[in-house]
């Protein structure tokens, strides 16, 4: 992957991306650095790393369309696959945005959608966070659209706001997290762990990140599994571990075993989720967990998107096959998985479950 970085200032996030490329954290390279500021520290970092640079601003191109075209031409000629904004203080022009739709990312120093929008950048964000009295902040990586800080969220990480924090001390702690989160998100985007499915509106599938993501996942899973619980007379008394009764503790248990959760989002709302968890007993096997599509989104292809995403994720983690356990009497669901490449490997009864479990596997190709 070839990355074009646009920066206006010192370029510490640019440096984090350069370092990640050099160290293997990103399988790619920074192909071009563009700045509207001829004296930007980002240029010094780029030149030290041997990366081509371009100064493009109203000083070099007074006409906005010419400026937009010059930036786009430079990115295209450099073979850029992904644009990463790193403290870039200008809006991208419409031609560049259109050419790199869903391939332009930005990092913002607060948990969007809070503390975003026009004028909310740099120290102004941290002042607003402290003045609000919130206890948690942190960076957000998001897709770039023609509105400030309005694109779909790709990654977030929580940073506590400590008693006695100043805007400067909070900025420093958030920036340290930015330097880790931004390269990791670019890598996840490149590996397909973050996927954009274009539509009306687009569907974004990405790893869950912060507390509110997991709260949303609990709600989605309960809603999706309520119907089969009713069909097969499953209650909290006879099967308390059924997904229709799941809670944050159960999700935390899966994560503690190396599991990774993904959510499907449309217009910032989670509409489905899935998890993959490595087997402790069978090398190369990953378990499919909590594939959940609520009733309003069934028969839309969302389940297949989530399943394919989960299989791709397991494969990227080194998985050779993916396995799932289903209610053996649920012929409809078993048929759905068969049509998507799964084969039955056997059945088993468990003393704590009121039904027989059918196991199905799908080999990675």
Q: How far is CA 142 from CA 35, 36, 83, in A?
A: 20, 21, 12
Both structure tokens of 224: 């999706």
Q: Out of 61, 108, 126, 352, pick the active-site residue.
A: 108
Say if CB 80 and CB 4 are below 8 A apart.
Answer: yes
Asked if 309 is an active-site residue, the reply is: no
- The Cα diameter of the chain in Å comes to 75
Distance CA 84, CA 183 (A): 10
3-state secondary structure of 313: helix
Distance CA 281, CA 357 (A): 18
Both structure tokens of 25: 């954290």
* CA trace torsion 6, 11, 14, 19 (10° rounding): 160
53: phi then psi, degrees, rounded to nearest 5: -130, 160
Q: List strand residue ranges (DSSP E) for the chain, in order.
A: 2-6, 29-35, 53-55, 82-85, 104-108, 136-137, 140-143, 153-156, 159-160, 195-197, 203-207, 260-266, 269-278, 285-292, 321-327, 343-349, 356-363
Of the candidates 249, 251, 241, 265, which has an alpha carbon nearest to the alpha carbon of residue 355? 241
Annotated active-site positions, please? 108
């Amino acid at each position: 992957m070839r990355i074009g970085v646009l920066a206006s200032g010192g370029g510490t996030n640019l440096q984090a991306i350069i370092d990640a490329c050099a160290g293997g954290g990103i399988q790619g390279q920074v192909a071009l650095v563009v700045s509207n500021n001829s004296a930007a520290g980002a240029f010094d970092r780029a030149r030290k790393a041997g990366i081509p640079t371009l100064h493009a601003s109203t000083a070099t191109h007074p006409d906005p369309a010419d400026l937009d075209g010059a930036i786009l031409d430079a990115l295209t000629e450099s073979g850029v696959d992904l644009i990463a904004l790193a403290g870039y203080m200008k809006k991208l022009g419409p031609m560049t945005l259109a050419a790199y739709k869903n391939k332009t990312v930005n990092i913002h120093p607060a948990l969007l959608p809070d503390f975003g929008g026009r004028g909310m950048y740099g120290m102004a964000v941290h002042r607003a966070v402290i003045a609000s009295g919130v206890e948690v902040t942190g960076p957000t990586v998001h897709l770039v659209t023609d509105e400030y800080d309005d694109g779909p969220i790709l990654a977030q990480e929580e940073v506590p706001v400590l008693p006695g924090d100043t805007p400067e001390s909070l900025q420093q702690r958030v920036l340290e997290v930015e330097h880790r989160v931004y390269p990791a998100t670019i890598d996840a985007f490149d590996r397909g762990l973050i996927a954009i499915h274009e539509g009306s509106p687009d569907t974004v599938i990405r790893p869950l990140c912060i507390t509110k993501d997991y709260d949303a996942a609990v709600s989605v899973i309960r809603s999706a599994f309520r119907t089969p619980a009713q069909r097969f007379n499953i209650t909290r008394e006879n099967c308390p571990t059924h997904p229709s009764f799941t809670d944050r503790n159960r999700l935390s248990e899966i994560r503690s075993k190396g599991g990774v959760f993904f959510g499907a989002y449309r217009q910032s709302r989670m509409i489905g989720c899935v998890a993959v968890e490595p087997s402790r007993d069978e090398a190369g096997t990953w378990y499919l967990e909590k594939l959940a599509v609520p009733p309003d989104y069934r028969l839309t292809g969302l389940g297949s998107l989530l399943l394919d995403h989960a299989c791709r994720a397991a494969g990227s983690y080194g998985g050779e096959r993916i396995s799932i356990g289903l209610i053996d009497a649920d012929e409809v669901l078993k048929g759905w998985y068969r049509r998507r490449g799964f084969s039955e490997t056997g059945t088993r009864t468990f003393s704590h479950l009121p039904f027989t479990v059918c196991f199905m596997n799908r080999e990675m190709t």
